[in-house]
Amino acid sequence: MEVSRLQRRYIDFISALFHEGFLDSQFTELQHLQDESNPDFVSEVASLFFEDSERLLNELSRTLDQQTVDFKKIDAHVHQLKGSSASIGAQRVKNVCLTFRSCCDENNLEGCLGCLQQVKQECYLVKNKLDALFRLEQQILATGGVVPIMSKD
């Protein structure tokens, strides 16, 4: 596939990720930090986020499965997940975390369990979307093209 078609596909795909709320402007900020000296910066940051998210989600599952649920501990984990999702621009994950924290404040176990399933789903979705985006970037680079960067506005 020619470079210009790959670049157009990339622009359409990333625009859809923003439009569908998967990503926000923080992701664009990360892209602007990437350069020739660190060409895999964004994918490395995303990879660290997903490793950390998996650890936090497992910890949340274990904590919510206890006989006596420690909502303060749950809230601390959700707060951490919210912060890391916000830092990479994973908007839908961050938004579920906001609801999750409200359920923690109310000691709402059913709400927390529902939010846990929802945040797992959103993490899974955004991971698959970003994996596809990074594969498209690699295709563009392999054909000698330049990956288009969204503007900051």
Whose tokens are 């990333």? That residue is 14
**pLDDT for position 93:** 98
Burial string for 51-70 (b: 16+ CB within 10 Å, else e) reads: eebeebbebbeebbeeeebe
How deeply is 34 buried, as exposed, middle or buried, from its count of CB atoms within 10 A (0-12, 13-18, 19+)?
middle
Q: Which CATH superfamily is domain 3-142 in?
A: HPT domain (1.20.120.160)
- Rounded to whole angstroms, the Cα distance separating 24 from 70 reads 32
pLDDT in tens, 98-128: 999 999 999 999 999 999 999 999 999 999 9
**pLDDT for position 137:** 93
* DSSP code string of 1-31: --HHHHHHHHHHHHHHHHHTTSB-HHHHHHH
Residues of the chain with pLDDT below 70 are 1, 152-153
